Amino acid sequence: MPSFGLTETQQDIREAARDFAQNAIAPTAIERDKSAEFPADIVKQMGELGFMGMMVSEEYGGAGLDYVSYTLAMEEISKVDASVGVIMSVNNSLVCWALENYGTEEQKQKYLTKLATGEMLGAYCLSEPEAGSDATQQRTTAELDANGDWILNGTKNWITNGTSADVFLVYAQADKEKGYKGINCYIVEKGQEGFTHGVKEDKLGIRSSDTCSLNFESVKVSKDNLLGENGKGFYLAMNTLNGGRIGIGAQALGIAQGAFEAAVQYSKERKAFGKPISNLQAIQFKLADMSMKIEAARLLIHKAAAMRDAGETCIREASEAKLFASKTAVEVALEAIQVHGGYGYVREYQVERFLRDAKITEIYEGTSEIQHNTIARALLKD
């Protein structure tokens, strides 16, 4: 991969992530995919190495790095196992980022310092059975009690890290009359009375990450655990997701890169008609198209990440990066299976896992259809 435009530090981060992915994650990726086992030990190691709080300021225990470095690490880790990638993505760009940018000093000291080091794991709780793409339709409610604390009731679903997380950022409707302007974000801790999770979902892909529903039955949340301003939860959610989409774009890029590298290697080893299939023009054209799409996705992601680092508005750019990278991941994984022929259809050769993992990147943190809407809205805005 090229190092175009990368600083020495960024290149070092990429190398460190690559070494960790190959040595610590790759050996157990296939078995964890089969068993759907959560990689607890790996997540702990990532925390110790600084991968769980990459953009968090050093004063709060983070690595103090930029978004570009984060996308580089996400790509390398997702190239080996996208399940580990999404665990890392949620903790970094959805939980830690929101806490650092919207949290009080007390909240940062209590939660962010532990999330950034991997001592705690975070989850982002926005989706509901009737509030997926339209996040304004929150049915989970938050009501003030006589002491000024909040009482949460409702259900969340498709929550990544749902059974394993310690800290949950939960969005709820606090004032139905105000619509989306009445939505708040609350910090909820694992084990609070009335807070339970459903069974772990049996998923097509990213199987060793855990996904489940969450249930809130009169869960009491201290007034000190309101994240951000009262009535500003929806804005907080959207600003957070904007960066999260860059991270998922990087996850998709990693999947595509992993599938591509597997296809290149196999094409050099597999012989047909007396020569490696890499000599066949049909295979060469497939590899050329795969390489082109991957590099275009990488440049879109790095552009959006650089804009995020510079404090620029990058709503359209983040959506373009996520949309194109996720589409590329699916297309490249399909072609990688085709290059492998029948072997591509069995687990041993791994490319079928890349396809299963790739599909979700077109769905979560904003479906491809929502990304199209977001891009078009930005283009047509007066």
12, 25, 258, 341 from 9: Cα distances, Å: 5, 23, 23, 40
Closest to 364 (Cα-Cα) out of 172, 90, 32: 90
CB-count exposure of residue 45 (10 Å: 0-12, 13-18, 19+)? middle
Structure tokens at 326: 């996720």
Query: Which amino acid, residue 236?
Result: L
User: How far, in Å, are 177, 186, 350 from residue 332 at the CA level?
Assistant: 46, 39, 13
Q: Which of 58, 320, 365, 369 is catalytic?
A: 365
C-alpha radius of gyration, the chain, whole number: 21
Q: Is 130 a catalytic residue?
A: no
For residue 4, how many C-alpha atoms fall within 13 Å in the half-sphere facing its CB?
Answer: 8
Nearest-angstrom CA–CA distance, 37 and 25? 13
Q: Apex CA 158: angle with CA 174 and CA 91, to 5°?
A: 85
Catalytic residues: 365
